[in-house]
Structure 1
C-alpha cells in the first residue's frame, strides 16, 4: 500500500492529481492523494494515518502544492437500520475548492 507524508508533498513543485478527504466519525478526517500515479493516504512521521479535525486543516497542510481535483467523501451508516431496505451505496462525494498556488 502506498502512503505519502505532508512534509514530502507540501512543496511548490508538487502537483497532486486528486485529493480525497474522507469524513469519518467524531469529526475526524483522513486524506488520500493521487501523486505521481501513486494513490495513498497521508501518514505522520510514525507511518500512522495522519488525522485531521477539519477540511480546512487538510487544505492548510497542503497549501503550497498544486491540487487539480479535490473531493470530500462521506459514507452514511443510516442504511444499517433494522427493517430498512437492502444495503445500497450511499456515498456522498462533494467537490472541494482548493485555491491555486500563485
Structure 2
C-alpha cells in the first residue's frame, strides 16, 4: 500500500505510475516506488478513488514520475456467444 502523503514529495522518484480507468469517471492509481508495486490507498486503507486523470497527476505533482500510463480495459469481449476472452486492455502514455 502507498499513501499520497508519503509519495507527493520532491525527494520521491516513482518508477512507474499506472492509472486504471475502472468505471465511468472513476480512476485508481498504482505506483512502483521503492521496489514495491501497490495501489494508492486512503486513510481507511481502501483504494484511493480519483475523478480524473488530471486529479491523479495533480495529487502527485511534487514527486518525480519516470513513466506514466493510462490503462483501460474494454467490456466488449463480454458479449454472449463471443470468442474466448483475451487481454483487450489499452495502455497509453500519459
Aligned counterparts of 1:59 and 1:92: Cα–Cα separation in 2: 19
- TM-score, L = length of structure 2: 0.97
Deviations 1:13-54 (A, max 9, x none): 000000000001121000000000000000011111100000
Supply the distance in 2 between the matched residues of 1:5 and 1:86 (Cα, whole angstroms): 37
Count of equivalent residues: 94
Residue equivalent to 1:29: 27
Task: Write 1 or 2 for the structure with the bigger share of strand.
Answer: 2
CA shift, 1:66, in A, is: 0.0
Gaps in structure 2 of 5+ consecutive residues: none
Which residue of 1 is the match for residue 88 of structure 2? 90
Deviation for aligned residue 1:82: 1.3
The equivalent residue for 1:6 is 4
Provide runs of 4+ in structure 1 moved above 4 Å: none
Deviation by residue 1:57-97 (Cα, 9 ceiling, x = unmatched): 0000000000000000011111010121221110100011x
Q: Which runs of 5+ in 1 are unaligned?
A: 97-102
